[in-house]
Amino acid sequence: MFFKTIRLVFFVLLFFANATAQNQELGKVSMAELESKVHPNDTTAVAAILFNKAKTVFVYDIRNGFSVVHEFQIRIKIYKKEGLSWANFTVPYYVGYENDKKDVVEFSNGMTYNLENKTVVKTKLTNEGTFKQNVNKYWNEATIVLPNVKVGSVIEFKYTLKSANITKFPVFNVQYDIPVDYFEYNSKTPEFFIYKPILKGFVAVKNEMKLENGSQNYEDKFNATVNMYYKQINSMFTAENVPALIGENYVDNIKNYRSYINYELERTRFPEEPVKDYSITWEGVAKTIYKEDDFGKELNEHAYLEQDVRAILKDATTPEEKMDIIFKFVQNKMNWNNDYGFYTDKGVKKAYLDRTGNVAEINFILIAMLKLAGIKANPVLTCTVDRGIPTYPNRTIFNYVIAAVQIDDKQILLDATNKFTSPNILPLPVLNWTGRLIEQDGNSAEINLYPSLPSRKNYSLLLNIDANGKMAGKIRIQRKDYDALRFREENARMNKDNYLEKIENDWNGVDISDYSIENTATDFSKPVTETFTFSTEKHSDIINGKMYINPMLFFTTTVNPFVQEKRVMPIYFQYPKLEKFSINFEIPEGFAIESMPKGIKIVTPDSVASFSLDTLLVGNKIQIQVSMELNKAIVSADYYDALKDFFQKIIEKEKEQIVLKKR
C-alpha cells in the first residue's frame, strides 16, 4: 500500500525544521524542580507546566477498522496557593455516536511529589481520586484529583483518549493560563488519511515532518495474525518557554488567541476504493449538514405552520411587513430553553406545540414561516463568542444558527430566540466575526456579523449652577440599536431603587429624582429613553473666588483602558459606538468667563476612533458638545499604540476646566 504523494496543508505562524525534543519522562522529578520557589521566566506564575507531551497513533481491528489513541503526559509545578486548582484535571470525551461506539479516557501514573525535610515524598493517585460523570447525551467527563497537593508540589499524570472519531482530533493546547516550559506533539498518520493540521496563536512552534514506513498486526476473522505495512507521516511539533496566556482589556474571547494544534480530516484514500472528501470546502460542509435529519429535514418541515401563517398575514402586503409580523410572532410565541446548537433536539413541530425549543428549533420555525410567506430565507451557522471563531471549513466549531432574509438587495439578519432583538440586531454573544450562510444545494457565503453602523447613545443635559457651585437640572439619555439591546437585557427586571442608587454612586454622589423611562418593552427598533432630574454639590470647586467646572461633569474619562506596554491580541469593542453629549448651562449670577477649554478633534489612523470637544459661549450660556466614536467592532493590535494615545489625549483634554471669575 504505497502512494507516490502525500499532501498535508499547514496553516502555521512559523515553520521550523529540525525540532529538538527534550528527554522528559514521567517518574523522574528532579530536586531542582521540587526546590524551585518561583518560575524563572514568570515570577507571577501560580503554577507552570514543566512538560506537556502528547502523541497520536492509529490502531486497526477487523471489526471496527481504524481508530485513534491520543496519549498525554503532563508534569506541573505548583508555586502558589492559587495554583492548587491544577491538581484537578478534567478531560471531556464523546459518547454520542449513533452505534455502540464510545470514546474512552483512562488515567494512569498519577503522582504527587513533595519535599519534606529534604526527602522526596511520593503520594500515588488512587481510584478514589478518579471520577467520571455524564454531561449530556453526547459528552462525558473524566476527572482526576491529585492527592496531597500543596504549594511547592510537583504533580504528574498520564492519560489516554481512545476514540472512534478519526475525522477530528482533540485540540492540543500549546499555551495555557500558566507558563509551559516544554511542549511536544507527535502524530504518526497512515497514508490512508490526509489531515489538515492547523496551528493557531502567537507562539513560535517548530515542526518536523517526514515520510516513513509503518506497520501493525491485527487478527482477521479467522483469528489469524495479519501484518499490515504502509507509509505514514511522522510529524513532530515542539515549543519551549511558552508564556502564559494573559487576558487584556477589550478581548472578545481569549481562547481565540491561545496557541494550539488541531487536526481535521481532509480526505481518505484506501486501496481499491474511491477517494472520499470530507470538510475541504464550505460547500462540502453545507451539503454534509443539510443531509442530517436534524437539520435539513427539520428545516423543510412546514405543514404545521401553514394555517398560522395565513392568519397572521391576512392584512400584510409588502415583504418587509410580512417579515416583521412573522419575526415578532415567533419571538413572542417561542421561548428559548437555553440550549445551543444548529441541530434540532425534539424537532420543530413538537417545539412549536410546546412553545419552547433550542436555538435551531426556534430559528428553523422562523425560516419556515418566512418561506411560506414567499420570502427568501436561509440559515446562517455561527459561533457564540465563548465558543471561538471558524477559521477554516469545518462544521464542528458551530454552536448557533440564525436566519438571513433577502428582500430585493437588502440582507437582514434575524434571531427570534431573544425577546429583545430586532431585525439586524442580534444577541450580543452572536457578534463573533463571521457566520456561514448555507443553502440546500451546497452554496454558501460568508456573512459579516458585526454591524457597520454605530449604535448611538445621546446625553442631553440642561442645568443651572448657583453662586455656590451647586448644580441642578434635567438629563435625557437615549440608547439605540445595540446599546438599547444591552440596556433592555441588563435591566429587564429592573429594581428602580437599586438601579438609581448605582447611577448615583457611579456619578460620584449625584442625587436623582423624577425618574421615568420609555420603550423598554414595546417597539425594539426605537430607542430606550430615560429622563430624570438631578442635583450635585461635588462637581465644581470654588477656590479664591474662582469657580472651576469640569466640562464633562460626571462623565469625565479618568482611566485609560489600555495600560500594557505592548498588545498582541486584536482590540474588541463588540460593535461600533457613537456617544454624544450636549451640556448646556447659564453662567451663575455674579460670575464671568475667565477661560474655557479650546475645541479639539482627535482622530486615529484610518479613523478607527475619533473624539471632538467644542465649547461655545452664547450670551451668558455655555454650550458643550462632545462626540466619541469607535468605528469598528474589532481592530488589529497594530492600532494599539494609536488607541492608547487616543484615550490618553481624551483624559488630558477632559482635565481642562471651565474657569469662572467673580465680576
User: Over the stretch 69-98, which tens digit does the pLDDT of each residue have?
Assistant: 999 999 999 999 999 999 999 999 988 887
What pLDDT sits at residue 578? 98
The answer to whether 122 and 113 have CB atoms below 8 angstroms apart is yes
Q: What is the location of CATH 3.10.620.30 in the chain?
A: 282-448
Confidence of residue 261 (pLDDT cuts 50, 70, 90): very high
> Is the pLDDT assigned to residue 416 strictly greater than 60?
yes
Share of the chain above pLDDT 70, in %: 96
Range(s) for CATH 2.60.40 in the chain? 31-90+151-277
Among the ranges given (5-9, 302-306, 437-441, 588-592), the one the predictor scored with the smallest mean pLDDT:
5-9
Q: How confident is the model at residue 10 (pLDDT cuts 50, 70, 90)?
A: very low
pLDDT at 2: 30
**Cα–Cα distance, 633 to 572 (Å, whole number):** 6
Please say if the pLDDT value at position 22 is more than 80: no
What was the pLDDT predicted at 70? 97
Parallel, antiparallel, or unpaired: how do β-strands 260-268 and 172-173 relate? antiparallel
pLDDT in tens, 189-242: 999 999 988 888 899 999 999 999 999 999 888 889 999 999 999 999 999 999
Judged on CB neighbours under 10 Å (0-12, 13-18, 19+), 660 is buried
At 158, the amino acid letter reads K
Grid cell in block for residue 545: 473666588
Q: What is the mean pLDDT of residues 483-489?
A: 95
Q: Which residue has the higher pLDDT, 22 or 401?
A: 401
Look at residue 3 and tell me whether its pLDDT is greater than 60: no
279 pLDDT tier (thresholds 50, 70, 90): low
Quick one: which H or E segment has residue 628? strand 621-630
**What's residue 13's pLDDT?**
32
Rounded-to-10 torsion of CA 302, 304, 310, 312: -100
Give the DSSP letter of residue 293.
I
The mean per-residue pLDDT over the stretch 546-559 comes to 93
Which pLDDT score, from 0 to 100, does residue 635 have? 95
pTM confidence score:
0.81
Task: Give 441's pLDDT tier (boundaries 50, 70, 90).
Answer: confident
Lowest mean pLDDT among 63-67, 79-83, 394-398, 508-512: 394-398
CA R_g for the chain: 31
Whether pLDDT at 9 is above 70: no
SS3 content of the chain, % helix, strand, coil (to 5): 20, 40, 40
Closest CA to 255 of 101, 385, 90, 444: 385
Listed in order, strand segments (DSSP E) in 569-620 are 571-572, 577-586, 591-595, 600-603, 609-618
Architecture of domain 455-662: Sandwich (2.60)
Residue 215 has a CB neighbour count (10 Å cut-off) of 10
For 471-498, letters b (16+ CB in 10 Å) and e give: bebebebbbbbbbbbbbbeeeeeeeeee
Name which of 663, 556, 659, 662 is nearest 617 in CA terms.
659
> In CATH, what class is 282-448?
alpha beta
**pLDDT at residue 6, rounded to an integer:** 31
Q: Which residue in 235, 161, 164 sits closest to 12, CA to CA?
A: 235
Of 20 and 465, the structure prediction assigns the larger pLDDT to 465
pLDDT attached to residue 5: 32
Is residue 7 predicted with pLDDT exceeding 60? no
C-beta of residue 428 within 8 angstroms of C-beta of residue 633: no
pLDDT, tens digit, 9 for 90 and up, residues 165-190: 998 899 999 999 999 999 999 999 99
* Residue 615 near residue 622 (C-beta atoms within 8 A): yes
| 82-93 residues labelled b (16+ CB within 10 A) or e (exposed) | ebbebbebebeb
CATH number for the domain whose boundaries are 31-90+151-277: 2.60.40
| Other beta carbons within 10 Å of 291 | 10
pLDDT tens digit sequence for 131-148: 999 988 778 999 999 999
Domain with CATH 2.60.120.1130 in the chain: 455-662
Q: Beta 376-382 vs 434-438: how paired, if at all?
A: antiparallel
Give the whole-angstrom CA distance, residue 484 versus residue 523: 11
Cα(385)–Cα(399) distance, rounded to whole angstroms?
10
Split at pLDDT 50, 70, 90, the class of 280 is low
Which single residue is written with the C-alpha cell 449530556?
A: 136
Residue 8 pLDDT greater than 50, yes or no? no
DSSP letters along 521-547, please? SS-TTSPEEEEEEEEESSSEEEETTEE
**Quick one: pLDDT at residue 16?**
32
Nine-digit cell string for 535? 442635583
Task: In whole angstroms, give the CA distance from residue 148 to residue 155.
Answer: 10
Q: What is the mean pLDDT of residues 387-411?
A: 87
Provide the percentage of residues in the chain whose pLDDT is more than 90: 78
Per-chain mean pLDDT for the chain = 91
